[in-house]
Structure 1
Amino acid sequence: MELSGKVAIITGVSKGIGRATADALLAKGAVVAGWGRSAPEGLTHERFQFFECDIRDETSVQEACMNTRRELGAEIHVLVNNAGIGNFGPVDGFSSEDWHAMFDTNVHGLFYCTKAVLPYMKQQHEGHIVNVGSLAGTAGTANLAGYCATKYAVRGFSDALFKEVRPDGVRVTCIMPGSVETNFNGANPGEEPNPHMMQPEDIAAAIVHALEAPFSVMISEVQMRPTQPK
């Protein structure tokens, strides 16, 4: 897809992979709608607009979609389902509230956003949905049972979705990173980058690569790992 002039929605845009992806898509000439509970600090660009949205609330998602189309045009070409949270701990000591919070964001929110934009992508016979999963969706890890469960769900959803919508000209990509240096892992922006972890910009570059593939090509899954983890 040629990204210049295309409308791209990114969830969880305030920091980390979401913010890096917004920067990368803006650099490619895209018009970016950032959905989130808080706006990214210092991101002022003529082709960027922030829409307050709690993806855990389907009504909030529907309103954000309506507002995006009103402000940026009726067509939506890209959706990057990036928003996600991780709560860790042993299953028998895990709070049900933390469990539900992860599924509400990582799984249900992703479904609400996808459901909202899909009819427009089908009408256009053009669209690309990128779901940010995790290598935690490929192998279980002790004390990450809940998080792994949500990311297995993201991978399964992505795999089923691409088979469902490919006849409509809509592509689906599941990006599954390993260790990324973001606030998610407790890292503070501004510190020296950790050479043993990937950076948010690395994931954003992979997303752009998948989006820019020729229409005849769908990169359905991408697994990403640090070359020399510590």
Structure 2
Amino acid sequence: MTKLSVNINKIATLRNARGGNVPDLLKVATDIQKFGGEGITVHPRPDERHIRYQDARDLKAIVYTEYNIEGNPQHNFIDLVLECQPDQVTLVPDAIGALTSNAGWDTIKHQDYLTEMIQEFQRNNIRTSIFVDPELNMIEGAKKTGTDRIELYTESFAHQYSLGNLKGIDPYIAASVRANELGLGINAGHDLSLDNIQFFKQNIHGLLEVSIGHALIAESLYLGLENVVNMYKRKLQ
């Protein structure tokens, strides 16, 4: 079964636009879990333009499914993760000021650094995942770091699928086959939506978790949050 982890960054963006506490991030996270979501994901950035570091701390007390914190393992982020003790940390090579994640790790160039970070988190019983492009050498490099899982960066697939090019899934199939051979768990995320999630799931063997935020929240404006969470779950069965 593939778990649905809902990224609530966009809820924080909406809250921050007016100040105050509307919408209430903690209530939304609680409701998503009540609606059937199997995890909550946050991606705090150094400028705290959406998720604030204090949000990550506050969420720890109310996330009873799986808690996933994403980000670039710089000093403040490392300290935050070790303090919050989430179920999973996903390492993403965001540049400071990046609008959104736009590339996976070069797991060969940064192998020593990633290995050091992963060992630190694993010593604290936190499952690790590395954000990677669907390239076999990057998958193999990830294995050498000792990570528990990889998260496939799916923007390219989503773009090709929107153009009607179903062959855009091929690199992801090859990457998932290699990851399975190496004993790596497989997560996926970025631009996955109700339109493309079922096709992706059907073609990626061993897909453990998807992290979906922007599309899911946008779709919920029309269809309602509870309805959309359950629509995703049906498509992931």
Q: Flag whether TM exceeds 0.5 (same fold).
A: no
TM-score (norm 2): 0.36
TM-score (norm 1): 0.37
